[in-house]
Amino acid sequence: MGNDGYQENGSALAALRDHLAELQLAQIAHRRRAIILLEGLEGSGKKKTLKQLAAAFDPCHFAVHAIGFDRREASEGHWLARFWRCLPSASNTAIFYRSWYLRVLDDRVRGRIDQDMVARSFDEINEFEAQQRDYGTLIVKLYFQVSAEIQQQRLDQRAGSPLSRASDRDERVLASDPAYVRAFEALKANSDTRWSPWIIIDGNDEEAAALASLSAIGNAWAEAIPSELPHLVAAPIRA
């Protein structure tokens, strides 16, 4: 991509950030809750979108939850409990960088849960998301797809980083893994619901993925939350 293309994308992203900032003001005024899921394999381009969202939103009204495998949480209480504690309050947004779908993706591929638990996990996820919808929470689920070649290139580039530990590399799920392909097909078949559908993002180009993601979030916000301010009810006049 030439400099003109980068400048065009940069201008478009800036416009989308401004648009999201305006939409967030309406969300705050109407006291609506929102959840954004950034789901997908490592190296699928999610972080670019996360940075754009962080630059767009009022930091007082959103929180980011980076989700990974937790052996202690997995063995204590209901597996969804740690996500209940992260749900947003009125006027706020919770952004999940990975999410409860780890259970039916990475954990399934790595054999951390029994295969007979997969169907039950999908049922519990769908019920959990339906509860949020019934409570008035807006849910936007973005899944970042990436080719095996692009993912490997990005993982190779990160291999020399001091943040990349050998144990982390051992746990990576690859797009080329047939078990992952089966898990992803099951994800689409079992959790693409009417009340919280998946939006598939092509993560091979991070700039284009960020543009598509912010556009999708903006469209969902505009459709679900009125742009006009709520009417104020005048206090009764006391005699």
What is the CATH classification number for the domain harbouring 100? 3.40.50.300
More confident residue, 192 or 10: 192
Asked if 19 contacts 222 with a C-beta cutoff of 8 angstroms, the reply is no
- Is pLDDT above 80 for 62? yes
Domain with 73, as residue range(s), is 13-224
Q: Please write the tens of the pLDDT for every residue from 32-48.
A: 999 999 999 999 999 99
What pLDDT does residue 115 have? 86
Is residue 107 a part of any domain in this protein?
yes
Q: What angle do CA 129, 135, 140 make, to 5 degrees?
A: 45
CA 63 – CA 54 distance, rounded (Å):
9
Question: Letter for the amino acid at 95?
Answer: I
Residue found under tokens 């054999």: 111
Is residue 56 a part of any domain in this protein?
yes
> In which band, very low, low, confident or very high, does the pLDDT at 233 lie, cut at 50, 70 and 90?
very low
Asked if 20 contacts 57 with a C-beta cutoff of 8 angstroms, the reply is yes
How many domains does the chain contain in total? 1
The reported pTM is: 0.89
CA 117 – CA 123 distance, rounded (Å):
10
- DSSP string for residues in the chain: --HHHHHHHHHHHHHHHHHHHHHHHHHHHTT--EEEEEEE-TTSSHHHHHHHHHHHS-GGGEEEEE----HHHHHSS-TTHHHHTT---TT-EEEEES-GGGGGTHHHHTT-S-GGGHHHHHHHHHHHHHHHHHTT-EEEEEEEE--HHHHHHHHHHHTTSTT--HHHHHTPPPTT-HHHHHHHHHHHHHH--SSS-EEEEETTSHHHHHHHHHHHHHHHHHHHS-SSPPPPPPPPPP-
Residue found under tokens 């065009």: 8
Is residue 236 a part of any domain in this protein?
no
Is residue 2 a part of any domain in this protein?
no
Is residue 3 a part of any domain in this protein?
no
CA 150 – CA 79 distance, rounded (Å):
32
Q: What percent of the chain has pLDDT over 90?
A: 77
CA 13 – CA 49 distance, rounded (Å):
10
CA 57 – CA 76 distance, rounded (Å):
34
Is residue 208 a part of any domain in this protein?
yes
Is residue 84 a part of any domain in this protein?
yes
Q: Please write the tens of the pLDDT for every residue from 87-141.
A: 999 999 999 999 999 999 999 999 999 988 999 999 999 999 999 999 999 999 9
Q: Please write the tens of the pLDDT for every residue from 129-181.
A: 999 999 999 999 999 999 999 999 999 998 877 666 654 555 789 999 999 99
Is residue 238 a part of any domain in this protein?
no
> In which band, very low, low, confident or very high, does the pLDDT at 239 lie, cut at 50, 70 and 90?
very low
Mean pLDDT of 58-64: 97
